[in-house]
Amino acid sequence: MGSGGRWVALSVRAVRSGLRDDFGIAASSIAFAAFLAIIPLIGLIAGAYGLFVPGETVARNLARLTAILPRDAQGIVVGGLRDTLGSGHPAGVTIIVSLGIALFSARRAGRSLLHGINLAFRIERERQGIRRQITAMLLVLGCAGLVLTALISLSVLAFLQSYVPDGLPGARLASTIILFGSLTLGAGIGLMLVYRYAPASETAIPWRSVLPGTIAGVAMWLAATLLFRLYVTHLARLGDTYGSLSAAVILMLWLMVSAWALLLGARLNAEAMDQAGITIEERDA
């Protein structure tokens, strides 16, 4: 079997084993916890970013960063940001309040994420006590840091675009490519860090071993997000069923789709490591 055939077989095995191990339940848990944590994290990001740029710039750049989301889900994210910016509190106060709420919310989101990753890597003995709490919060705050970095990058891109002459051929296309390229790179970095450090192993997973799942996870996430966006926009009529709750339902479903991509990427890494004879030494509880 060639290299391509081997990876196809590993991917099929990862999907089958994921269904057998109830990834759907783990993905639902991650999605629910992330849904509860997303607004406080947005407040934290907005407060930190707002220390350096005007509030209108924060809202505009976050809207660009979340352009890949279904429109209703994007509305919740941007709406939460506008509520934070419109509170009238100084940025420093916003950061302090949002940090406290985000840390509390991050505990549940991080624990769900850690459990899902350990399930995907077939690790039975998970972290316990304060070590688990700290790792969970660091994971979620690390994701917030990646979003903040992306927002800063958008500000730099907008600054550079101000020097580009109006009507320059290909300028808009180049800007779009850079935006989605940066989004893909950020998602890849985030997945690599999660796959390397989240499992409760005695030593960090080797970088080389997390690369296949990272590539597959990002590809699945982008494809699933775009397909889900098309489905929600053109086929689904969730507003008829859920009414005013449809935006929240769409965001929750998108988070679940994203969690599935994350877990399947982790399971692909586990399958590849198992085939290569690489064992994971589980950490003592």
What residue ranges do the domains of the chain occupy? 16-162+169-275
Contact 260, 119 (CB under 8 A): no
* Residue 254: partners with Cβ closer than 8 Å, 6 or more residues away: 69, 70, 73, 225, 228
Per-residue model confidence (pLDDT) at position 239: 72
- Residue-wise pLDDT tens digits, 26-49: 999 988 888 887 777 777 776 776
Write a three-state SS string for 75-112.
HHHHHHHHHHHCCCCCHHHHHHHHHHHHHHHHHHHHHH
Contacts of 81 (CB under 8 A, 6+ apart): 42, 43, 46, 58, 59, 62
Instruction: Express each pLDDT in 132-155 by its tens digit.
Output: 777 777 777 777 666 666 666 666
Residue 217 exposed, middle or buried by CB count within 10 Å (0-12, 13-18, 19+): buried
**What pLDDT shows up at residue 138?**
76
d(CA 157, CA 180): 13
Residue 268 and residue 271: Cα distance in Å, rounded?
5
CA distance 5 to 223: 21
Name the stretches of the chain with pLDDT < 50: none
The pLDDT value recorded for residue 210 is 92
What was the pLDDT predicted at 80?
A: 66
